[in-house]
Structures are given as C-alpha cells and as structure tokens.
Amino acid sequence: MKWKNQILNLEAYKPGKTIDEVKKQYQLDTIVKLASNENPYGYSPKVDQALRNFQASFILYPDGNASNLRDTMAGHLKVDPRQLIFTNGTDELIQIISRALLEPGKNTVMANPTFSQYKHNAVIEGAEVREVDLINGEHDLRGMLSQIDANTAIVWVCSPNNPTGTYIPKEALQPFLEQVPNDVLVVLDEAYYEYVDKDVAYDSLALIDQFPNLIIMRTFSKIYGLASFRVGYGISSIDNIQSIEPTRPPFNTNVLGQLAASTALLDQKFVENCRSKNEVEKQKYYNFCQENNLGYYPTQGNFILIDFGLDGDSVSQFLLTKGIIVRSGKALGFPTGVRITLGLEEQNQQVRNAIKECIELNSFIK
C-alpha cells in the first residue's frame, strides 16, 4: 500500500481504560472515571425532554447546515450565523482547519505540552511542527512569535490549556495577536471557556472583529456534558468560515446532536451552576495540594494537573487499583504529573484519600 510516509509511525489515539475494563480487571463494583474532563454533573435535563419529543425520521440525512443550532448559537453569541461552523466535535474542526491550511513546506506553531490533536493532524498533512515549551505551565507567547516565519500557516493557542489548565490573560493575548502576521491563522481553543472565573474571563469574541485572522473553537463536550453527541463549533470572520467550509464533510453533525446542543445552549442556568460547583471543588484540591506539598497549576478548567514528583504512570496505576481512572501525565508531556478531572464532591474526596494513601506508601518505600 502507498500510505503517506508520515503516517507510518503515527500512533492511533489511545483513549483511557473504560469503566467496564477496570471493573473486570480489579473486581470492583464502582468506578470513578475522571480521565477525560467530561461533566460530572451531567447535562441540562431539558435535553432529555427534547430528545423524547423528537419526531423526525432517521431515514433522512441531517440538516447539513445545522440551521436551527446555527440560528440559536448566533442569537446566543450575537454574531452573524455565517460566522459559525459546526463540526463532529472540536476534534473534527482541528482536522479540517489542518486540512485546509497545512501541507509539506508549511509549518505550524504550538505550545508543548498542549492538546495532542494539533500536532497529530499537522503530521498527517505533512507540515513541519514547531513546538514551544510552556513556561510555568503557561504559553510562551513571545517564544511562539519568534517561531513564525513566511511558511507558517497556523498558530494554535489553547486557553485554558489542556493539560495544565492555565488561562491566557487578555493583556498577554492582545499584544500577541497584534504581532502575528495577518496571513497566519490563529486558532484559539476555548474548550473550557465556560469554566473560567468570572473575574478573569474576557470577551474573546470581540477579538474576532479586531483580528480577522482569528478563529475561536468551543465545544458541547465539556461543560455542556454532551461529549457523546460530538458537537463542536468555530467562530470567525465570514470570509474565514467560507474558506474552510469546502473541507467540512457534508453531514458531519447528526440530527440528535444538533437538537441536544441547541437545547442545552438555551439552559445557561445549568452551565452557571456547573461552573460554580467546579469552583468549590477546585479550591478543595488547592488546599489539599498545599497541605501535602504537591505541586499543581492553578486551573481555569474542570481538571487539575498535580505534580507528584513521582512517575505519573505509577501514581495513576495505584489509583486504578482503587477504581479511580485518571490520566497519567506521561502521555501528556508531564512525566511526573497526573491530570485529574474535577468530579462530584464525594468522588473528589475519594480521589484525595487514595492520593494520600499513595503518598504515604511512597514515602514509606523511600
């Protein structure tokens, strides 16, 4: 077969262990899965209602334009409906943006570590990947600027950043955007936008009017609690969206996903409720880390990266034996860390108890 050279050594995405696998392996009844930053509080109850009342046929293709979701979103964000693109999760938006702009001879700039799919898709398209190490868990925007040249097509900025949770303040992002050449697309990944503290959050959408080379990505997979429906979206200038559209598969979002997303969007009370509960749980983790001398990054997402100073795989393996699934930092570019999704109050307590056990065991071995 004549596979692209660049995919010969590329690994397929490895999702964490499933709940069923862990139950079986360790003979446990209940499993706490806090590995993929899903919403532990579920999703708006209005979604169940809407799905129950759903009447249309499954025979027909879905509305390829996602018209109802588009109009609802445009009204919610106060943008022109033509400024929006809907995709099968943000993952697909990353894929089609890469497909539209990257090819051999071009390069793309991103932080390290950051969300893995930027690099993955760049490699598939045969583009050069330029990674700039984080400084104290934060994007080194100056370093990223210095990597941009005439062949740079995309710069990826993840805020809050996965896996560190750090948020780029407006005072840093604005001058960065002013210095990126205007023929370089800046992708601002805001998968966790709705979790950001009210007192530091800013209106990033206003930057789109100011910077025509900016596209913002958001998703229904995180705070909206609808990961299984696979709905993500992009917001940019009408021109940029028009240019990207031909690379989008025709019926990429499905009929139930569109309905679930547009219904969930109208329940902002639910969203606010999740944000404030997350805030409370976050604070308990901070206190715990301080009491136990564990390093961590202040997070603006629904997850926390804790530095154990130990092999991340062995910590997550220990937690697994307690029925707790988290993400080892090893696979995320933080070998001594573990990324933990903030779960329900009692789940988080269970995690902290297990961590405490792990630390005690380790200091005993040392």
Ligand X SMILES: *Cc1c(COP(=O)(O)O)cnc(C)c1O
Site residues, ligand X (CB under 6 A) = 37, 89-91, 115, 158, 162, 189, 191, 219, 221, 227, 232
**Nearest to ligand X of 153, 188 (CB atom):** 188
- Residue 287: Cβ-neighbour burial (10 angstroms; 0-12, 13-18, 19+): exposed
Helix (H) or strand (E) holding 70: helix 67-77
Dihedral angle computed from the Cα positions of residues 76, 49, 57 and 225, in that order, rounded to the nearest 10 degrees: 60
Q: Which residue is nearest to ligand X (CB)?
A: 89
| Cβ-based nearer residue to ligand X, 47 or 158 | 158
Closer of 191 and 274 to ligand X (Cβ): 191
* Sign (positive or negative) of CA dihedral 61, 225, 317, 116: positive
Tokens coding 348: 């988080």
The Cα–Cα gap between 174 and 240 comes to: 20
Minimum distance from residue 5 beta carbon to ligand X (Å): 27
Between residues 132 and 354, which has the closer beta carbon with respect to ligand X? 132
Q: Exposed, middle or buried by CB within 10 Å (0-12, 13-18, 19+), for 349? A: middle
Give least dist CB 232 to ligand X, A. 4
Judged by beta carbon, residue 219 or residue 350, the one nearer ligand X is: 219
Report helix, strand or coil for 311.
Answer: coil
> Least distance in Å: CB of 234 to ligand X?
11
Q: How far is the CB of 361 from ligand X (least distance, A)?
A: 31
Least distance in angstroms from the C-beta of 256 to ligand X = 16
